[in-house]
Structure 1
Amino acid sequence: MMLDPLYGFVFFGLFSPGPNVILLTSSGARFGVRRTLPHLFGVVLGVGITAGLTGLGIAALLRQAPMLELALKIAASLWMLYMAWGLWTADRRRGKADRDRPMTLIEAALFQWVNPKVWAVALAAASAYPGLSGPWGEALRLGSAFSGINLGVCLFWTSAGALLTFLLTTPAAWRVFTRIMAVALASFSVMVFL
Structure 2
Amino acid sequence: MSTFALAVFFLLISPGPGVLTTAGVGSGFGYRPGLRFVAGLFIGTNLVAFAVISGLAAVALSVPEVRVALVWASAAFFVWLAARIALSGARIGFIESASAPGFIGGLLLQFINPKAYAVNNLLFSGYAFWPESLAVEVVIKLLILNAIWIPVHLAWLGAGVALKRLDLSPGAQRAINLAMAFSLLAVVALAALSER
Q: TM-score range by the shorter chain?
A: 0.5 to 0.7
Identity in percent = 25
Contact 2:26/2:158 (8 A) holds in 1? yes
- The answer to whether residue 156 in structure 2 is matched with residue 154 in structure 1 is no
Q: CA deviation at 1:17?
A: 1.0
How far off its partner does 1:26 sit? 3.0
Cα offset, 1:189, TM superposition: 6.2
Aligned to 2:135: 133
Q: Does 1:24 align with 2:22?
A: yes
The separation in 2 between residues aligned to 1:113 and 1:10, in whole angstroms, is 22
Report the Cα offset of residue 25 of structure 1: 2.4
Provide the C-alpha distance between the structure 2 equivalents of 1:91 and 1:42, rounded to a whole number of angstroms: 30
C-alpha spacing 1:179/1:5, structure 2 compared with 1 (3 Å): closer
CA deviations 1:84-112 (Å, max 9, x no partner) are 677666998xxxxx972343333332332
Q: Which amino acid aligns with 1:118?
A: A
Change (3 A) 1:12 1:184: closer
TM-score (norm 2): 0.65
Contact 2:8-2:123 at 8 Å conserved across structures? no
- What is the SS of the residue equivalent to 1:18? coil
Q: CA deviation at 1:64?
A: 1.5
Q: Structure 1-normalised TM-score? A: 0.66
Letter of the structure 2 residue corresponding to residue 132 of structure 1:
L
Q: Which moved more, 1:36-45 or 1:125-134?
A: 125-134
Equivalent of 1:66, from 55, 64, 67? 64
Aligned to 1:109: 107
CA contact (8 A) 1:28 1:161 kept: yes
Deviation at 1:43, TM superposition (A): 1.9
Alpha-carbon distance in structure 2 between the residues aligned to 1:129 and 1:57: 20
| Matched pairs, number | 185
Deviation larger for 144-153 or 70-79: 70-79
